[in-house]
């Protein structure tokens, strides 16, 4: 694919690349969760789901998946970004809303207008800041289910989510619905902000792979400080994983750079993958692979967020959603489309918009250096390594539902 500079709204992209942009104006106190909990995560109430393969911890406030570990892993290495652990180890209090892991941004993905902020709406929507209700936590046969719900009073919507796991499987099944309480159709912004972090995210080692896509570097203005240094150019189309650099060359974005102190975003149209798209993160030395499979009819876009500070915890977002970049809704709706594809979804009056995805965590064989393909068929997820010489099959019995 030849490089082509793409016009876009640059003024809206002033972001703190090396800080957690979702937490621009966090509340001063922790909201009290109303959810039934059975666990704790660094002092915060959590819900733990587990089978014979893995443990998954979900915070009662905000509903993020904060820990996902294999029981057979002696290190119990959690691939997800863990700012709560970082604060705990530094002897600092947890910042409300800065939970990390995999959290949901709805209704909103990015900054807000002055008027929205004045009305109480914050970056990335309401859902990840509010206490969630546990509607049901049950097990029938080999299937454990968690049903959660959270009211979003400012946007007048209700988010409901069902998380299911099955004994003997490495897979988490997530089904969500967003219900509008308004009597008119409206555009919505939604992203599943899946984020990996160090020590799983190791410079020059951990690699990210994804299915066929059309890629664009995020447009930006020149950074004002050295801490906001960019490696890649502004607003330029490229062929993943080789992105254009500010020095005039190209860089392979699969792995975090060995030289730290930079931050960038890329946007990816995932519809070239077909009905389903996938993204994976692999630590070859630990032989630990995290992956996601999602529907491009619901989430046609993915943003990668690279936060590689010279000191502190590294983070990399694998954020599949309704838009290419985390931008204010006015910007997204005004732009309308990118690559001739809408940057939002419609939520009809008094109706629901439904989504589903699966995530998996598995130990891979020796010599597995990356992922070349992921397919789902007949209740099985098949993962082929980048060389095409090794194949891994995961039971995924609920994918045929």
At 38, the pLDDT band (50, 70, 90 cuts) reads: confident
**How large a percentage of the chain has pLDDT more than 70?**
89
Q: Is the pLDDT of residue 283 over 90?
A: yes
Q: Which residues contact 174 (CB under 8 A, 6 or more apart)?
A: 161, 162, 163, 164, 356, 357, 358, 359
Q: Is the pLDDT of residue 228 over 70?
A: no
9: nearest Cα among 330, 335, 338, 339: 335
Q: Is the pLDDT of residue 9 over 80?
A: no
> According to the model, what pLDDT value does residue 227 have?
63
Check if the beta carbon of residue 6 is closer than 8 Å to that of residue 13: no
At 225, the pLDDT band (50, 70, 90 cuts) reads: low
Strands 276-283 and 207-210: antiparallel
Check if the beta carbon of residue 171 is closer than 8 Å to that of residue 146: no
> According to the model, what pLDDT value does residue 380 have?
97
* pLDDT higher at 296 or 6: 296
Q: Residue range 123-138: average pLDDT? A: 95
Q: Is the pLDDT of residue 95 over 80?
A: no
Structure confidence by residue, pLDDT tens digits, 341-383 = 999 999 999 999 999 999 999 999 999 999 999 999 999 999 9
* pLDDT higher at 25 or 314: 314
> According to the model, what pLDDT value does residue 28 have?
39
C-alpha pair distances (Å), 77 with each of 164, 243, 268, 360, 378: 22, 30, 28, 14, 30
Strand partners, 354: 177
Q: Is the pLDDT of residue 198 over 80?
A: yes
Q: Is the pLDDT of residue 34 over 70?
A: no
Q: What is the dihedral angle through the alpha carbons of 293, 294, 295, 299, rounded to the nearest 10 degrees?
A: -150
Q: Is the pLDDT of residue 94 over 80?
A: no
Torsion angles phi and psi, residue 324, rounded to 5: -75, -40
> According to the model, what pLDDT value does residue 223 have?
67
Q: Which residues contact 141 (CB under 8 A, 6 or more apart)?
A: none
What are the tokens at 335? 């732009």
d(CA 242, CA 250): 6
- Quickly count: other Cβ atoms within 10 Å of residue 174's Cβ: 20
- Write down the CATH number for the domain with range 11-367: 2.70.98.10
At 98, the pLDDT band (50, 70, 90 cuts) reads: confident
Q: Residue range 78-96: average pLDDT? A: 88
> According to the model, what pLDDT value does residue 23 have?
42
Q: Is the pLDDT of residue 27 over 50?
A: no
262: nearest Cα among 234, 241, 231, 233: 231
Residue bearing tokens 């992921």: 374
d(CA 227, CA 239): 27
> According to the model, what pLDDT value does residue 33 have?
39
Check if the beta carbon of residue 320 is closer than 8 Å to that of residue 299: yes
Distinct helix (H) and strand (E) counts, the chain: 3, 28
Region of 42 (left: φ > 0; alpha: ψ -120 to 50; beta: rest) is: left
Question: Please, what is the average pLDDT of the chain?
Answer: 90
Instruction: Determine the 3-state secondary structure of 349 from DSSP.
Output: coil
d(CA 296, CA 235): 23
- Which sequence spans correspond to the domains of the chain? 11-367
Report the range of poorest mean pLDDT among 19-33, 37-51, 136-150.
19-33
Triad 217, 250, 263: Cα angle to 5°: 50
């Amino acid at each position: 694919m030849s490089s082509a500079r793409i016009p876009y709204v640059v003024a809206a992209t002033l972001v703190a690349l090396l800080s957690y942009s979702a937490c621009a104006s966090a509340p001063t106190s922790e909201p009290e969760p109303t959810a039934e909990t059975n666990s704790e995560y660094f002092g915060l109430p959590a819900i733990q789901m587990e089978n014979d393969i893995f443990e998954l911890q979900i915070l009662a406030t905000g509903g993020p998946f904060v820990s996902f570990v294999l029981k057979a892993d002696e290190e119990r290495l959690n691939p997800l970004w863990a700012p709560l652990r970082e604060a705990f180890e530094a002897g600092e209090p947890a910042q409300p809303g800065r939970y990390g892991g995999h959290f949901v941004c709805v209704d909103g993905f990015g900054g807000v207008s002055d008027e929205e902020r004045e009305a109480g709406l914050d970056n990335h929507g309401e859902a990840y800041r509010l206490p969630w209700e546990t509607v049901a936590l049950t097990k029938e046969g080999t299937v454990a289910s968690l049903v959660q719900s959270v009211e979003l009073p400012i946007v007048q919507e209700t988010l409901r989510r069902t998380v299911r796991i099955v004994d003997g499987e490495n897979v988490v099944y997530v089904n969500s619905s967003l219900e509008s309480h308004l009597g008119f159709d409206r555009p919505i912004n939604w992203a599943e902000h899946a984020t990996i972090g160090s020590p799983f995210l190791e410079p020059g080692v951990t690699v990210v792979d994804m299915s066929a896509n059309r890629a664009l570097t995020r447009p930006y203005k020149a950074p004002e400080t050295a801490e906001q240094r960019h490696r890649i150019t502004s607003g330029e189309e490229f062929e993943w994983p080789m992105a254009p650099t500010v020095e005039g060359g190209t860089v392979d974005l699969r792995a975090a750079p060995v030289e730290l102190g930079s931050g960038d975003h890329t946007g990816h149209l995932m519809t070239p993958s077909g009905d389903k798209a996938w993204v994976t993160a692999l630590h070859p030395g630990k032989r630990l692979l995290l992956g996601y499979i999602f529907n491009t009819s619901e989430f046609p876009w993915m943003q990668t967020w690279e936060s590689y500070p010279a000191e502190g915890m590294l983070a990399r977002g694998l954020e599949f959603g309704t838009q290419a970049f985390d931008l204010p809704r006015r910007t997204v709706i005004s732009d309308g489309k990118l690559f001739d594809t809408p940057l939002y979804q419609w939520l009809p009056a008094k109706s629901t918009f439904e989504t589903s995805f699966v995530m998996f965590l598995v130990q891979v064989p020796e010599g597995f250096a990356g992922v070349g393909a992921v397919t789902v068929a007949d209740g099985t997820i098949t993962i082929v390594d980048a060389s095409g010489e090794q194949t891994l099959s995961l039971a995924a019995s609920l994918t045929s539902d």
